[in-house]
Amino acid sequence: MARFENGVAAEADLLIGADGIHSRVRHLLFGPERPRFTGCVAWRGLVPAERIAGLGIEVASHNWMGPDAHCVHYWVSGGRLMNVVCVAEHGDWTSESWTDKGDVADILARFEGWHPIVRGLIGAFPRPSSGRCTTAQPCRAGATAV
């Protein structure tokens, strides 16, 4: 039986708690646990198509891999926006927020020497956000609450 803050109760054979890194479900099942920093930071942004038209990016999902970093990008909103996520090792990051503002110059420095498409996407970020990548212990299959 699952009981929610609004008073609703539901009964099911299976409950999946997919409520993020600060999971209330995980806390209720296993007790408190602080997320652990993976050592990587992600910078994310939506780039308007007109800002990157000259890059000639095909309609496909792209994943660029390099030393200690990678960049994933793909079209969204019917081709009007490019979703871009750049991830790099950054062992001294302290903020847990996913809404911190990223600095384009810092991201470009982290991706120095990368392919012109990757650097062109980063340079076209209108307002990148940044956040550290965290992890928690996986839940056991079949875990139950008492």
Q: What is the pLDDT of residue 144?
A: 45
What tokens were used for 25?
């479900």
Compute the average pLDDT of residues 89-107: 70
Residue of 24, 44, 119, 140 with catalytic role:
44
Q: Label the pairing between strands 2-3 and 36-48.
A: unpaired
Q: What is the pLDDT of residue 146?
A: 37
Compute the average pLDDT of residues 96-116: 82
Residue of 36, 74, 80, 110 with catalytic role:
74
Q: Which residue has the higher pLDDT, 25 or 93?
A: 25
Q: Label the pairing between strands 36-48 and 9-10.
A: unpaired
In the residue annotation, 110 being an active-site residue is answered as no
Q: Which residue has the higher pLDDT, 97 or 28?
A: 28
15-66 residue pLDDT tens: 777 766 667 777 777 777 666 656 677 888 899 999 999 999 988 899 999 9
**CA distances for 50 relative to 27, 43, 78, 114, angstroms:** 45, 21, 13, 22
In the residue annotation, 74 being an active-site residue is answered as yes
